[in-house]
Amino acid sequence: MAEKLVYVLNGPNLNLLGTREPDIYGSQTLDDIADLIEDRARELGLAIDMRQSNHEGHLVDWLHEAHAQGAHAVLLNAAAYTHTSIALLDAIKAISVPVYEVHLSDPHTREPFRHVSYVGMAARDTFQGHGAQSYVLALEAAANL
């Protein structure tokens, strides 16, 4: 049987992980996180398609694509678009693939403008504040679907 496919979508500025505000986001790069997720996915019998974009519309298109491809789940770290994007909220509501919201930091302990999550309004569940482990926890939840 074909492996279940999980899209891992990353939003703006996450390409700069490693050097970007390491006191908040840690020193791991997005490639390091990809390696971590790949290793866990292999153990769980899942296939990963990991992507990053600084453009909101790319994230919307990739959510649609995940649906069209019959993906098992999506892990979405929409970064700052989490707190602004009704387009992402609508896209998550428009597709039947379960979407897990992921954040390295815990936005609820940060500035008030990060306390609103449009992604969280439609996501199946949220994993935040555990650094790169937030992705692994979300992947494990997706594996248990």
List residues with catalytic annotation: 25, 103
Alpha-carbon distances of 108 from 79, 103, 134, rounded to whole Å: 13, 11, 15
Whole-number minimum distance, CB 7 to ligand DQA, in Å?
17
Whole-number minimum distance, CB 74 to ligand DQA, in Å?
15
Helix (H) or strand (E) holding 15: none
Sheet containing strand 99-103, edge to edge, reads 46-52, 4-10, 73-77, 99-103, 125-128
- Please tell me the distance from the alpha carbon of residue 84 to that of residue 103, in angstroms, as a whole number: 15
Q: Which is nearer to ligand DQA, 42 or 113 (by Cβ)?
A: 113
Residue 134 · residue 101 · CB < 8 Å: no
Q: Which is nearer to ligand DQA, 44 or 80 (by Cβ)?
A: 80
Name the nearest CA neighbour of 66 among 86, 50, 89: 50
Q: Which is nearer to ligand DQA, 4 or 18 (by Cβ)?
A: 18
Q: Which is nearer to ligand DQA, 104 or 142 (by Cβ)?
A: 104
Whole-number minimum distance, CB 70 to ligand DQA, in Å?
27
Site residues (vs ligand DQA, CB under 6 A): 13, 77, 79-80, 82, 103-105, 107, 114
- Please tell me the distance from the alpha carbon of residue 83 to that of residue 61, in angstroms, as a whole number: 19
Whole-number minimum distance, CB 85 to ligand DQA, in Å?
11
